[in-house]
Amino acid sequence: QHYLDNFWPDLKAAHELFDSIVQARRERESESQENHGKEYPEHLPVEVLEAGIKSGRYLQGALNVNKHRAQLEAFVRLQGVGSKDTG
């Protein structure tokens, strides 16, 4: 802001762009605070997930995504199991 004010005070488009960036950053920080610092909100409450894992309704594992074909190829390696679950 200081740079724009001092060197480009009449460049309206640059000031509007800067204001837009500042607003987007504030919104993102606000969303992050609402989500307790997590970038994405959780889909189900942790308590529901934990109960589902214990009951066998849900499975827990590590998601592995092919970095070269990320939209096409991924699998979940279940914890304590050597098999793959393609998804």
Mean pLDDT of 1-19: 92
Residue 6: per-residue pLDDT: 92
Same domain flag for 31 and 62: no
Say whether both 24 and 53 belong to one domain: no
pLDDT at 86: 47
Residues 30 and 60 in one domain: no
Cβ partners under 8 Å of residue 79, min gap 6: 60, 61, 62
Same domain for 30 and 45, yes or no, is no
Q: What is the pLDDT of residues 19-47, one digit of tens each?
A: 999 998 888 887 777 766 666 666 888 89
Is the domain of 51 the same as that of 25? no
Distance from C-alpha of 78 to C-alpha of 56, rounded to nearest angstrom? 13
What Rg do the C-alpha atoms of the chain give, in angstroms?
A: 22
Q: CB within 8 A of 87, min separation 6: which ones?
A: 74, 75, 76
pLDDT at 82: 55
| Percentage of the chain modeled with pLDDT above 90 | 39
- Cα separation, 28 vs 30, in Å, equals 5
- Domain limits at 10? 1-39
State the total domains in the chain: 2
**What pTM was estimated for this model as a whole?**
0.39
Q: What's residue 19's pLDDT?
A: 92
Are 27 and 47 contained in the same domain? Answer: no
